Structure formats: C-alpha cells, structure tokens
C-alpha cells in the first residue's frame, strides 16, 4: 500500500507540495531575519538632525529626538555665535523651538533631514534687537545694510542639523558693498622719472576688474606675486610705498618690506624726506617684494586715480574699523661726525641720519589696549662731514 502510494501521481504531488512549503518557509525566515523585521521602520542612512533613525519606527522617533536634543542643549561645549571684527555674540540655544511633528512628517528615507527649528512668538525679533544693541554694533551706521534675517535663518539651519559649532561672520551678510564700505585712507604719490602715470593706471585697470586692487579676506597680498608679470619694479615700488603707508593705520600684518636706507639729500633733508615710515622697494632680481596679510573676515581694496602727469592718488577702501588704531612714527635723529683732511678733492657736507620706528596701538571698544608694538623699523645712517684741516 505504502509503496503503491509513493509511486502514485498523488504521492508525487504531495511530496512536491511539502518540499515547496518547507523551502518557502525557509526563504521567509531568511528574508525576515535580513529585511522583514524592518517593516514599518526607516531604512538605512536616514538621519534627522544629527540623529540616526535608520531601523526604528516612526513612533519611536520623537522620543529619541527629544532625548538627543535635550543632551545637545545641555552640552556647554557647543557654541553658536555671531562675530564681527573680532567681537562675538553667543546665541542662546534654549530659545530654539524644535517642531518634531512637522520634522517627522517630512522625513525623506535614506537621507540627512533637517529638524524644523524656529523661534516662537516674538523671540526672533527680540534676538535681532539684542544683536543690534550689542556693545560692538550699537550705533553702527551699517546695521541696516546687513541682512540680519538671513543670518538668523542660517543659524536656525545649523541648529536643525544639531551642529556642534556655528560661527557666522556678520561681514558675510552685507547687502550692498557700496553702501557698507568707506574710505579708510588715501595718499598722494609722486611718480618718479621713467614711470608713466597713464600706463600705471591702465595696467591696474587691465589686471583688476573695476580697477580695484583686491586684498581678500584671510589672504597674504604679495606685490610681486600679484603684479610682477605686468608691472616693472619701479611701478611696483611706487604702489608698494602707497600701500604700506595706508596699511599702517589698519590691523593688517606687514609680512615683508625692504627699503633703501638712503635719503635724497639733493632734494630733501631729514625734516622733509617724504618716505619715512613707508619706504618700500621692490627688486625682482634679488627677490625683494612687499607683502602684507589681511586678517579680517571682509576684503579690502585699493583704487588708483590720476592727479596729473606726475602724481597719482592711492585709496584704501573697506569696512571701517570699530577699534581705535593709533599709529605713531617715532623719529630719532643721528648726528654726523666731522673728519678733517688735507685733500680738497674729498671734501663733503655732513648730513644727519635718522632712526624710524613705527608703533601701532590698537584700543578695543572699551578703551583697553589690545595691541601695542613697533611694526616697522628703518635706519638711515648719517653722512660724515669732511673738512680741510685748519
């Protein structure tokens, strides 16, 4: 009987069905172990804020987010700040409102999602008013020219990602550069023989858009690197002398400067020599350049205009400094010696020399000295007098 059943067509089908059921069950068990248990949960690589929610259900998300946000808010090492010219304002993260329901509703699977973060009620305007009344911004005539609302949106965006650090530079939120920037200083320069005023200005216009010699934020400006391919040493020297004179009254760091320790006594003396404190010389053959560093979060630029055929005006333009910057040029005359001779052919007039020390002092908005150093030194040796022996 059993043998007949096993060899019958019905037995064959029953055995096949049993084997199929066993195989299907095995496949289901394997699938459930790998994927099935995840039904109703978020897929891999799904992040909300900075919280990984892959593998958990929607009902579990809010509880996890609340826990993580509370921990984020209580972490004193996390800083959200606004800076302007070295001063800072710290945002109170406790004022942020986290909308969990809306955030969860808009989650995209397998992606990093931002939390919906806002200020409730009038809090945003209160924060804006607080920023505008900080001691380093109150009274600033440029305040209306900064997009504070966009700044707040960017801060909230960083909060929505639960970043551990957010530093926004107010300088990045200028609406109209032409309104925000002002003339920092200017100097008239006499162009020496061999240099054409028109060619000098034309070269600047050709090299720089709108004839603005840009000094970018956080960058070293090297005259030879920037101008060496298009300008002669004499042209770069005259520009360097003007630039040096103008950056003395800023917080720019002078990196490299070379000078000729010789006074043109034919046309000047130590009381009228015009280059004290900004004597700069460029010589590409021996590698002498002039360079300085802009440490600010905003660019500055120079403009060059023609006065006449032998004179130009160099102007530095940018955001006005809120610190007081005082520059003193200390001059120490050096007496010349007198030497006698019986040779009339070597007689010469004596001239005093000079030691130049340029001191920069920076006082913060509270009147405290935060910088006080000699930033430039020049030495002009005296020329001895030679007279006939009595």
Number of structural domains found in the chain = 3
- Give the residue numbers spanning the domain of 273: 181-388
pLDDT-derived band of residue 31, with 50, 70 and 90 as boundaries?
very low
Q: Measure the N-to-C terminal CA separation of the chain; round to a whole number of Å.
A: 155
Looking at the structure, do residues 112 and 261 belong to the same domain, yes or no?
A: no
Nearest Cα to 137, choosing from 82, 218, 81? 82
pLDDT tens-digit map of 339-371: 999 999 999 999 999 999 999 999 999 999 999
pLDDT tens-digit map of 270-299: 899 999 999 999 999 999 999 999 999 999
- Each residue of 237-273: b (16+ CB within 10 Å) or e? bbbbbbbbbbbbebbbebeebbbeeebeeeeeebeeb
Please tell me the distance from the alpha carbon of residue 32 to that of residue 37, in angstroms, as a whole number.
Answer: 5
pLDDT at position 12 is 61
- For the cut 80, the answer to whether the pLDDT of residue 23 exceeds it is no
Q: What is the mean pLDDT of residues 308-321?
A: 96
Looking at the structure, do residues 287 and 377 belong to the same domain, yes or no?
A: yes
Looking at the structure, do residues 200 and 285 belong to the same domain, yes or no?
A: yes
- For the cut 50, the answer to whether the pLDDT of residue 33 exceeds it is no
Q: What is the mean pLDDT of residues 83-104?
A: 94
pLDDT-derived band of residue 36, with 50, 70 and 90 as boundaries?
very low
Looking at the structure, do residues 34 and 51 belong to the same domain, yes or no?
A: no
Looking at the structure, do residues 113 and 190 belong to the same domain, yes or no?
A: no
Looking at the structure, do residues 173 and 187 belong to the same domain, yes or no?
A: no
Looking at the structure, do residues 121 and 248 belong to the same domain, yes or no?
A: no
pLDDT tens-digit map of 168-184: 999 999 999 889 999 99
Looking at the structure, do residues 168 and 255 belong to the same domain, yes or no?
A: no
């Amino acid at each position: 009987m059993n043998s007949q059943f096993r060899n019958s067509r019905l037995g064959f089908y029953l055995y096949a069905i049993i084997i199929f059921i066993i195989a299907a069950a095995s496949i289901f068990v394997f699938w459930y172990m790998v994927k099935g248990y995840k039904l109703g949960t978020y897929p891999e690589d799904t992040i909300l804020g900075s919280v990984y929610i892959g593998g958990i259900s929607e009902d579990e998300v809010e509880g996890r987010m609340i826990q993580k946000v509370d921990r984020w808010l209580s972490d004193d090492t996390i800083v959200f700040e606004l800076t302007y010219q070295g001063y800072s304002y710290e945002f109170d993260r406790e004022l942020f409102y986290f909308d969990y329901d809306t955030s969860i509703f808009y989650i995209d699977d397998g992606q990093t999602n931002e939390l919906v973060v806002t200020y409730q009620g009038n809090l945003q305007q209160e924060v804006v008013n607080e920023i505008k009344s900080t001691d380093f911004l109150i009274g600033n005539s440029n305040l209306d020219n900064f997009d504070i609302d966009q700044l707040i949106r960017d801060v909230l965006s960083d909060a929505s990602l639960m970043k551990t650090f957010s530093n926004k530079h107010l300088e990045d939120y200028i609406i109209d550069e032409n309104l925000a920037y002002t003339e920092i200083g200017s100097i008239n320069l006499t162009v020496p023989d061999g240099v054409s005023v028109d060619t000098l200005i034309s070269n600047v216009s050709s090299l720089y858009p709108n004839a603005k010699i840009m000094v970018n934020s956080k960058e070293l400006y090297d005259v030879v690197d920037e101008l060496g391919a298009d300008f002669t040493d004499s042209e770069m020297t005259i520009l360097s002398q003007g630039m040096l004179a103008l950056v003395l009254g800023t917080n720019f760091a002078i990196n490299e400067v070379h000078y000729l320790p010789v006074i043109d006594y034919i046309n000047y003396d130590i009381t009228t020599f015009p280059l004290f404190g900004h004597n700069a010389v460029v010589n590409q053959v021996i590698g002498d350049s002039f360079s300085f560093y802009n440490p600010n979060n905003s660019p500055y630029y120079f403009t060059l205009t023609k006065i006449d055929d032998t004179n130009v005006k160099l102007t530095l333009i940018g955001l006005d400094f809120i610190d007081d910057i005082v520059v003193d040029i200390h001059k120490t005359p050096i007496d010349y010696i007198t030497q006698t001779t019986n040779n009339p052919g070597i007689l010469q007039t004596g001239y005093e020399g000079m030691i130049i020390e340029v001191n920069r002092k920076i006082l913060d908005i509270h009147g405290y000295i935060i910088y006080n150093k000699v930033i430039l030194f020049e030495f002009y040796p005296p020329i001895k007098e030679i007279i006939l022996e009595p």
